[in-house]
Amino acid sequence: MLRNSIGLSGVQNARELGGYRSEDGRVVKGGVLLRTARLSTGTEEDLKRLKEVYHLAKIIDLRSDEEIYGSEEIALFTGSKDPDPDPEIEGAEYINLQILDLKKMMVNNTELMKEIEPPLDFIQMLNITIKAGFINDELYFGFLDEEPGRSSYSRFMRELMSLEEGKAVLFHCTQGKDRTGVGAMLILSALDVPEKVIVEDYVLTNDYNSEKIAKERMMLEMSGKVPADQMETYLMAMDRVNEKTMTNVIAYLKKKYGSVKNYIISGLGISEQELKEFKDKFLAEG
């Protein structure tokens, strides 16, 4: 079994943050902070496991309305405009905190949108995704410094702080790697987990998605439409991550705010006292 797995067979990139060691010697509590990709692919056994093994109390969905309810816009990037709601899990409160304003990104790419003439093949959809700015460091910077991302991550931290003892929270986006990865970075930074470990947790996505990434690489190579020096970018538009993306976003927060924790305090409005309580809540002696 892969490191930190929570044992879900139908949900991609399904793992937890438990077991990482804080700089004060304590460890992140196990079975409490869960991170995944979309939940709609979960089996009945997966949902039962979340309820009965993890005692799931909150589901925090970081996706946009377009991803959840379906739209013509999202079809440009996924090939489907069908709704993709989370399944209901008894005892778990559903909370939607949108990090990305997809419609705003469309407006900002008006000229690009004019070039689109459906139907598009898969490579064309990837090209649009890349040209629209969905695959670059600035996307992550926008998650953190622009709306609705900033206010959503602020509430995200507060929803975690209000989690009932003995319960778990699950946070996710579509692929469980970008918006979810930034959320995990904020949590682990607040818990004083070393930066090296935070980046390692981010890159674990590649282990969880290794089979998919290998198939995607083969498909892209066989298409003959993707230059070798662009292969990494195309794979990142699908299911792969690059550690430089996370090291760059942490460096960005350090340069602008002094540290990630300073961003959490001044950018997200979480007080130092609340951060202390956050650590006491999610760290255990170990």
The per-residue pLDDT for range 45-61, each reduced to its tens digit, is 999 999 999 999 999 99
pLDDT tens, 101-146? 877 776 666 666 666 666 667 787 788 778 877 788 899 999 999 9
Question: What pLDDT score was predicted for residue 109?
Answer: 63
With vertex at residue 197, the alpha carbon angle to CA 195 and CA 203, rounded to the nearest 5 degrees, is 105
Question: What pLDDT score was predicted for residue 284?
Answer: 98
d(CA 188, CA 214): 29
Closest C-alpha among 78, 6, 83, 70 to residue 40:
83
Alpha helices (runs of H) in 109-240, residue ranges in sequence order:
110-114, 122-131, 137-145, 149-161, 179-190, 195-208, 210-223, 231-236
Q: Indicate the pTM of the whole model.
A: 0.94
In 3-state terms the chain splits into helix, strand, coil percentages (rounded to 5) of 50, 10, 40
Classify the phi-psi angles of 166: left when phi > 0, otherwise alpha if psi is within -120 to 50, otherwise beta.
left
Question: What pLDDT score was predicted for residue 127?
Answer: 82
Which residues lie across from 171 on neighbouring strands? 35, 60
Closest C-alpha among 209, 278, 195, 199 to residue 237:
209
Q: Which whole-number Å values give the CA distances from 176 to 168, 229, 238, 239, 262, in the listed order? A: 17, 25, 11, 9, 25
Average pLDDT over residues 254-271: 98
Cβ count within 10 A of residue 194: 14
Q: Is 166 within 8 Å of 154 (Cβ atoms)?
A: no
d(CA 45, CA 52): 10
Q: Which residue has the tokens 């304003």?
A: 101
Crossing angle of the two packed helices 195-208 and 179-190, in degrees rounded to 10: 150
In this predicted structure, which of 23-32, 91-100, 111-120, 241-250 has the lowest mean pLDDT? 111-120
Question: What pLDDT score was predicted for residue 115?
Answer: 64
d(CA 223, CA 231): 12
d(CA 92, CA 42): 15
Question: What pLDDT score was predicted for residue 116?
Answer: 65
Closest C-alpha among 246, 247, 272, 268 to residue 257:
268
Average pLDDT over residues 3-30: 98
Confidence of residue 78 (pLDDT cuts 50, 70, 90): low
In this predicted structure, which of 20-34, 90-104, 148-162, 177-191 has the lowest mean pLDDT? 90-104
pLDDT tens, 273-285? 999 999 999 999 9
Q: Domain 15-284 sits in which CATH superfamily? A: Protein tyrosine phosphatase superfamily (3.90.190.10)
Question: What pLDDT score was predicted for residue 191?
Answer: 98
Cβ count within 10 A of residue 214: 11
In this predicted structure, which of 110-119, 134-143, 159-168, 223-232 has the lowest mean pLDDT? 110-119
